[in-house]
């Protein structure tokens, strides 16, 4: 499903509400699935973003590993999990709202 997505953390550190509100959201198709993870060496729930007009386009956001729905309301929801940055896993959350 297509949403406007805003990452809520940078390298595991929560961004300020003002910073989150002023960030241009990424438009994309959120894909939630259970798949083997080479990084975690087990099966994990993964949220990823399909984005771009061409196959093979790099996604604008790193996938969330061990992803889970942490809140939901009428106009949006938050997915939380772990993202890998340069070999290190950091907490990350995406605020997703309808287009």
- Kindly report the pTM of this predicted structure: 0.89
Pairing status of strand 88-98 against strand 76-85: antiparallel
pLDDT digit string, tens, across residues 34-55: 999 999 999 999 999 986 666 7
d(CA 24, CA 47): 20
As a whole number, the mean pLDDT across the chain is 92
pLDDT digit string, tens, across residues 21-33: 999 999 989 999 9
- Residue-range definition of the domain harbouring residue 38: 2-98
Contact between 26 and 61 under an 8 Å Cβ cutoff? The reply is yes
Q: 7 in helix, strand or coil?
A: strand
60: pLDDT confidence band, cut at 50, 70 and 90?
confident
pLDDT at 27: 92
Higher pLDDT, 50 or 70: 70
Tell me how many domains the chain contains.
1
pLDDT at 40: 93
């Amino acid at each position: 499903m297509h949403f406007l997505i805003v990452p809520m953390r940078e390298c595991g550190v929560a961004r300020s509400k003002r910073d989150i509100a002023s960030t241009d959201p990424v438009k994309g198709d959120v894909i939630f699935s259970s798949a083997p993870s080479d990084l975690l060496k087990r099966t994990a729930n993964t949220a990823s973003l399909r984005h771009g007009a061409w196959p093979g386009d790099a996604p604008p956001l790193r996938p969330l590993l061990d992803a889970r729905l942490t809140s939901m309301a009428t106009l949006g929801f938050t997915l939380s999990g772990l993202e890998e940055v340069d070999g290190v896993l950091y907490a990350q959350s995406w605020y997703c709202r309808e287009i």
